[in-house]
Amino acid sequence: MTAPAVVPRRTLRVLGTSITLLELIRRRAESDLGFAISFEVHNFVDCQRRAALEPAAYDIYDQCFHNMDIVWFWGSLQPVDTFRITDWDMLSGLTREGGINRYASRGHGDQPVRKLYVQPGEALGPAPSRYISMLPTVHNFDSFGYDPRVFGAVGPHRESWSWLLDPRARGRIAVVDEPGIGIFDVALAAEAAGEVKFADIGNMTVEEIDSLMRVLHQHRQQGYFRAIWRDGEEAANLVRNGQVAAQSMWSPVYGELGETAQHFVEANPIEGWRAWHGGMSLARHLSGAALDMGYEYMNWWLSGWPGAVVARQGYYMSVLDRVREALSPAEWRYWYEGLPAEVDLPGPSGNIVVKAGARRTGGSYWDRASRIAVWNTAMDEHNYACRAWERFVRQVRGEASS
């Protein structure tokens, strides 16, 4: 008698960014779930373009809530049924309810809760429903990094976003190029510096965008900007080569600075953090067995181990209790509770990224989550802002290369 035929399950194709699509996560997911998984990694802008325009090319879309307005409304995704998410009830209130508690600042712009629930007529909104656009997963509260030798030693709560446009750092400033993120770094800077005033920084008017761009171009003409970076690797190189004194930063980059880490620290800005929230969505074409695989993969992400991996590069996960079980007590106390590291702590790949005695900027998860200034956002005038931003980026790059 021959052995029963084993029909191999198809490959689950995940489209996303380098934030979560780590090779060690892919391998572990394959072995835990028993089917092949492929990761396709792009930067934010290319990723959302592919998600919107080529919906048949992927099964899971792993990205951020602030581009739901684009990908969801393009009709490329299908709602996620929360009845099929085993640990849905364990998800943090930050996304499900809009804040970690009633008193935490909600922040301007695209709060994830406003893009979370599928409303009648397929719109997205904050009114709870069984179906959601994206399963909330990885998130963080970002600021900028700076060189304390340039800005001097400061006490708690003295750093300000205005340092991203500060004369002391002139010629040695860089910002991230993704418009839904970079614009808010410089907008927070320009408002903190008293150069512009926004009625709602999360939904700027055309006039406000024009004023912001005028400020940026003035600074550009005076040679303030060294670079506009596209990914963490570029950002790390700018610091390692001593080319920047203040720049936009992403959390994992701090672990990649090597010897220069002591001269480049994360700010805890008095104005608050720029927050973002990632998640996973299902491609519209999924059905039957392929759809089941999608749910298996999403549920696996909430199981604790993946959240522990991303915690080691500074990211938080929507299921806190599960992550706590998967981290060592020392790791949990450093990354989530904001307490001094008791021992040297490893990053995702095992190298030491936190020295014993170090303390996470901004304190605990709950401290940081209570001080959100603005979320990464696709504003109403997103198209107008992006086109203006692209012109600015082109000019800075042109000057940097000439």
Partner 1 sequence: MNARSPQPPMQKRYELIAGVLRLNITTGKLPAGFVLVEGPIAELMQSSRAPVQAALRILEGENLIHRFAGRGFLVGPKGSGVPPIRQGIRDLDLQISVEIDEALQSRGTWELVYDRVEEQVASCLIFGEFRIVETELGDYLGVSRTVVRDVLSRLHERGLIRKNQSSHWIAGPLTAQMIREKLAVRAILEPAALRLAGAAINYTEVETLRVRLAAGEEIEGEILEAALMEHCIARTPNRELVGLIGNNQLLLTAANRALTGLGLPRDRVEHGEYRTLFDLLSRHLVDSAAEYLEGRLRILAEKSLARLKIVAIITQPSDIAPFLTPK
188/379 with CB nearer partner 1 = 379
Using CB under 8 A, list all residues that contact partner 1: 45, 48-49, 52-53, 69-70, 73-75, 121-123, 179, 205-206, 378-384, 386-387
Assess contact for 348 and 22: CB atoms under 8 A: yes
65/146 with CB nearer partner 1 = 65
Rounded Cα gap, residues 217 and 86, in angstroms: 50
Q: How far is the CB of 125 from partner 1 (least distance, A)?
A: 10
101/119 with CB nearer partner 1 = 119
Residue with tokens 């080569």: 241
Length of the chain: 402
Q: How far is the CB of 314 from partner 1 (least distance, A)?
A: 28
Q: How far is the CB of 259 from partner 1 (least distance, A)?
A: 39
123/356 with CB nearer partner 1 = 123
169/228 with CB nearer partner 1 = 228
Rounded Cα gap, residues 282 and 15, in angstroms: 11
Alpha-carbon torsion, ordered 67, 73, 77, 78, to 10 deg: 120
49/170 with CB nearer partner 1 = 49
Q: How far is the CB of 181 from partner 1 (least distance, A)?
A: 14
| 337 contact partners, CB below 8 Å, separation of at least 6 | 364, 365
The phi-psi region of residue 288 (left if phi > 0; otherwise alpha if psi is between -120 and 50; otherwise beta) is left
74/295 with CB nearer partner 1 = 74
79/99 with CB nearer partner 1 = 79
36/45 with CB nearer partner 1 = 45
Q: How far is the CB of 186 from partner 1 (least distance, A)?
A: 18
Q: How far is the CB of 122 from partner 1 (least distance, A)?
A: 6
Q: How far is the CB of 373 from partner 1 (least distance, A)?
A: 22
SS3 288: helix
Q: How far is the CB of 299 from partner 1 (least distance, A)?
A: 29
Q: How far is the CB of 180 from partner 1 (least distance, A)?
A: 9
